Amino acid sequence: MNDMLNPYIAGAPVVEASMFFGREDVFGWIERSLEGKFVHHILVLHGQRRVGKTSVLKQIPNFLPDKYIQVFFDLQGRTGTSLDRFLWWLASEIVRTLRREHDIDIPKPDPKAFADIEYLINEFLPGLRPLLGDYVLLLTFDEFDSLDRPEIRETFSRPLIAYLRRLIEEEGLNFIFSIGSSGDKLENMQASYTEFFKSALYRKISFLTRDDCQRLVTKPVEGLIKYEKKAVERISEITSGHPYFTQLMCHELFSRCQKTGARTIGAGDVEAVLEDVIERGTVNLKFIWDEASDLEKWILATLAEIDGGNNQKLAQALNAQRVRFSESDLNSAVIHLRDKDVITGDNRFVIHLMRLWLVANRPTDRVREELVEVNPIANRYIEIGDEYRDRGQMQHAIENYQSALNANPGNLKAQTNIASVYLDQKDYAEAAEAFGLALKIDDEDVMAKTGYCEANLALGDAARGHGETDQAIPLYQKILAINAAHSDARQRLAAIYREQAERQLAARQEDEALGSFSRAMEFMPEDDQLSSRYNEVLAQKKAKVVAEWLGKAEKALSRQRWDEAAGMVEEAIQVDPENEALQARLAEVKDAPRQSKLQGYRREAEGAIARGNWEKAIAALETAIQLAPEDTALREQLGAVRSDQLNAQLDLHRKSAEKAMAAGDWE
């Protein structure tokens, strides 16, 4: 078991990471909502971060009728662009999907054509309709709330929303959007784009049912590890069926089994890995914290300490901390946290891990340091910098943010603001360095991580565009060091290694090419085209090596080196163990000595028959039959020879009798 990869992570051999549980009600709602009177409505999936919205989108083709052709768009990292480039990307993804999944061969869109943004509606989509027939394109957009970043809202988001609004009216198209959080993000987007969202139908994606959670825990390791009932129940209590945290718990438990060699997991094992689970899940647990308002942060930290209680008990605890709030603000904040599935109706944490993380990382004394103004001079410089930034005077803005840092070197807001200004100006090298400094202040800050990744992605793309892939690779790897799931960085690295593999193939470096394909698949394990190409090259390589071994085996056979020939066929089987033809050939080669002897006795028998040497022919055939007792032709031939021998003997006796009679020798 120690040699196996963890079955709860991508690429594990025990079970596919894409194993999917539950959500049948969601898919039923999607299918109903796409039909009839809702055909021109857009659908919106929303819910907590990492709760499974992306998985639902990716599983849609497995649950909807075949008439829908889903095209999946991940907007993370795709919003720092212009409208015409974005529309070209949409068209390119549609073409790629139609080619890969439906064998509809369409030329790759020319990016120059999309300089006219009307090209998509007036030329590209009308050109598809005759090819699609009765099919409906289902365009699904993940991370749609990434459009709500203030710095792109006017320059990119609003023009795109307006364009999408026009696309919704086109025949043969349906739309589904996912928004990465309930609560503020959903409300803000609805308010910002009222016209777009007014006809939307919404579905909240929440946690798995208890039964589905139990299947997610036990099914991937079925037959390898046994979970005691109390362990499964404890996992369900701690995660409340949140898919990400459930898998994270199981990942740590499986790793524990690999270290200890245990094959049974009990409740004690669950408690033993909690600290590691909290550490690994910090980024996603902190995301809830970063989204919360100041009052909500006080509520979360306080509830973690008092472990639940009604609003009256909560208010008393907040007053003891000298937190200022009104009763209506408190009630609104509590309702908001409940709507986001953070706390329950009795003010306990839905996900127990969240409480444990807060106790360890956000005690109320630290919250006070975080929320209370500790350096008014630094804050004033930041305010002045913001004013300059709003007026477009970026250099003055940076100078004031730097003054804030001089007054308070650990001021995260000042450092991230400097980095954001550089990012807005497309000075990606300075932005990456500045965001890196922000991460040294707080390596969990979501804004710093996002900006750092965006800047390095742009630097990597620029290097790659100049053919400097050796410089691009470490830039993309920096992104993955911050966010291992960053789809754009993984796609770029996969593309680089695939291109390298194709060049190696052209130079007849098959082994090196296979290594490069393997590297590419490490970054994009779900890319079917990439896997198919790897398997194709691997098959060609196998066929070539197998042919070489078989050629050597034939030469050995011609020299009657039987064992040597069999060994060479066995080498071929090592290369392609699933090849049934090779197994059959090995049997033939191993049988070659017998067949050679058999052919020798056949020839000996034929020669003896030709000379009328029946005894020798019979002896040769009898020996041949011992070698091939199942050969009925040999037995028939032996019978015929014996009959010929008898006839010859009778003929001899007859002639001898006739001669005696002629001589009157009646004796």
Over the stretch 343-401, which tens digit does the pLDDT of each residue have?
Answer: 888 899 988 889 999 998 899 888 877 776 556 788 889 999 999 999 999 999 999 99
Over the stretch 419-466, which tens digit does the pLDDT of each residue have?
Answer: 999 999 999 999 999 999 999 988 878 889 999 999 999 999 999 999
For residue 271, what pLDDT band results from cuts at 50, 70 and 90? very high
pLDDT higher for 284 or 139?
139
Radius of gyration of the chain (CA): 38
- 3-class DSSP state for residue 257? helix
CB atoms within 10 A of CB 493: 23
18 pLDDT higher than 50: no
Predicted local confidence at residue 117, as pLDDT: 93
One-letter amino acid for residue 81 of the chain: T
User: Which residues are CB-contacts of 421 (< 8 A; sequence separation ≥ 6)?
Assistant: 389, 394, 397, 398, 401
pLDDT higher for 256 or 22?
256
Contact 549, 571 (CB under 8 A): yes
pTM across the whole model: 0.53
12 pLDDT higher than 50: no
278 pLDDT higher than 90: no
Predicted local confidence at residue 13, as pLDDT: 36
- Give helix then strand counts, H and E, for the chain: 34, 7
Q: Which residues pair with 265 in a beta bridge?
A: 227
Distance set, CA 144 to CA 56, 83, 155, 157, 502 (Å):
15, 15, 16, 10, 35
Residue by residue, DSSP assigns 577-646 as: TT-HHHHHHHHHHHTHHHHHHHHHHHHHHHHHHHHT-HHHHHHHHHHHHHH-TT-HHHHHHHHHHHHHHH
Contact 518, 534 (CB under 8 A): yes
CB atoms within 10 A of CB 247: 19
Distance CA 531, CA 11 (A): 12
Cα-based torsion angle of the residue sequence 327, 330, 331, 332 in order, rounded to the nearest 10 degrees: 120
- What's the number of CA atoms in the CB half-sphere (13 Å) around residue 387? 7
CB atoms within 10 A of CB 425: 13
477 pLDDT higher than 50: yes
